[in-house]
Amino acid sequence: MSNTQNTMIMAQPDDWHLHLRDGNLLNNVLSFTAKQFARAVIMPNLSPPITKVDLALAYRDRIIQALAPLSSFNPLMTLYLTEDMPLSEVHKAKEMGILAFKMYPAGATTNSHSGIKDWRKIRKILESMQKNGILLLIHGEVVDEKVDVFSREEVFIETQLGPLRHEFPELKMVLEHITTEQAVEYVKTEGEYLAATITAHHLLYNRNALFKGGLQPHYYCLPILKGETHRQALLQAATSGNPKFFLGTDSAPHTQNRKECAFGCAGCFTAYHALALYAEAFESMDALKQLEGFASFFGADYYGLPRNTQTIMLRKVAHKVPEYIEVENERLIPLRANEWVHWQVV
């Protein structure tokens, strides 16, 4: 990485957790990611979900079709775990180069109702994933009305993740989009088979952002933003140089009418300016030098993939985030719409 005060050249990053959706949305959001990132791990929570290898390969084709000509962006596909997944899908996935399966606790978030009620019911699948070196990506929140929404990650770690890791100690896991100091501590102290992704929005905002001047639906995501001490713990972890923490935007586009309504969807659309947001978070810690490891190296290392050799340049120039992005007859509102970001990919 080379660094002057106003520019930074670094190996091209990857996004290890991304929602691209399908159809019009896919066609309108993909270019933002493809301009910044070489690869991205594509979440399978479409409706209906991507539960089979054949569905994942067809989805991959649609993504490739939606790319600009000559783009070398590489979507890394995942499968959505269900309690009735046939064991044969694990072998097929291995054969077809699918690297990871995603576990959504049923009911935890967007399109998760076909997810897992009890991981003990998919023991055979998990065992075979462990044997075949397929990663388990985890949405780490319990689904329990009695558990406070701000505590769901912490309780998941205590009651679900501990026993799961105990039973499958060599199953490589990623605790996705961590939000709490408890998650940071847990990931730090567990061994080489556990890592975590961190979003830009959880590095930049605490839960006050949800209520600033009124309800702010575009800051509503799951796991929900937490208090300031948690944000500080995430910033420390991301900028520490510890390779167990790496970039995953969890950019999750929903159209304006699905965000600004009763029962508004969870998800922050950050693909538009993801790297700029991360750069700002790292700069706030005077840790821009650590950005390249976090964004471009540690994820690839953990997934066992080669590091990117091509580079990108970030420049420190203020840029106003548009009010919206047009998607056919609808609008997508990026995080921080109508406000400024301070870095730009050139």
Where in the sequence numbering do the catalytic residues fall?
Answer: 250
CA distance 135 to 130: 8
- Closer residue to ligand DOR in complex, CB, 71/208: 208
Count CB neighbours of 290 within 10 A.
Answer: 17
Q: State yes or no: residue 139 binds ligand DOR (CB under 6 A).
A: yes
Q: Would you say 252 or 337 has its CB closer to ligand DOR? A: 252
99 close to 106: Cβ distance less than 8 angstroms: no
- 8 Å CB contact between 27 and 34: no
| Residue 3 · residue 288 · CB < 8 Å | yes
Say how many residues touch Zn ion, by CB under 5 A: 1
Residue 239 touching ligand DOR (CB under 6 A): no
Q: Residue 280 interacts with Zn ion (CB under 5 A)?
A: no
Per residue in 41-74, is it b (16+ CB within 10 Å) or e — as a string? bbbbbbeebbbbbebbeebbeebeebbeeeeebb
- Interface stretch with ligand DOR, choices 51-59, 233-241, 263-271, 330-338 (CB under 6 A): 263-271
* Greatest distance between any 2 Cα atoms in the chain: 54
Q: Is 90 in the site for ligand DOR (CB under 6 A)?
A: no
Distance CA 243, CA 133 (A): 19
- Is the Cβ–Cβ distance between 26 and 62 less than 8 Å? yes
Q: Which region among 142-150, 240-248, 260-268, 301-309 touches ligand DOR (by CB under 6 A)? A: 260-268
Taking CB under 5 A as the rule, does residue 250 contact Zn ion?
yes
Which of 12, 28, 33, 45 is in the footprint of ligand DOR by CB under 6 A?
45
Q: How far is the CB of 337 from ligand DOR (least distance, A)?
A: 17
Does 267 participate in binding ligand DOR (rule CB under 6 A)?
A: yes
- Report residue 52: phi and psi, to 5°: -130, 150
| 305 belongs to the binding site for ligand DOR (CB under 6 A) | no
14 binds, among Zn ion, ligand DOR, none (CB under 5 to 8 A by kind): none
The interface region with Zn ion, picked from 56-64, 66-74, 179-187, 244-252 by CB under 5 A, is: 244-252
Q: Which is nearer to ligand DOR, 140 or 293 (CB)?
A: 140
C-alpha Rg value of the chain to the nearest Å: 19
Contacts to Zn ion by CB under 5 A: 250
| Binding positions for ligand DOR, rule: CB under 6 A | 19, 45, 109-110, 139, 221-222, 252, 265-267
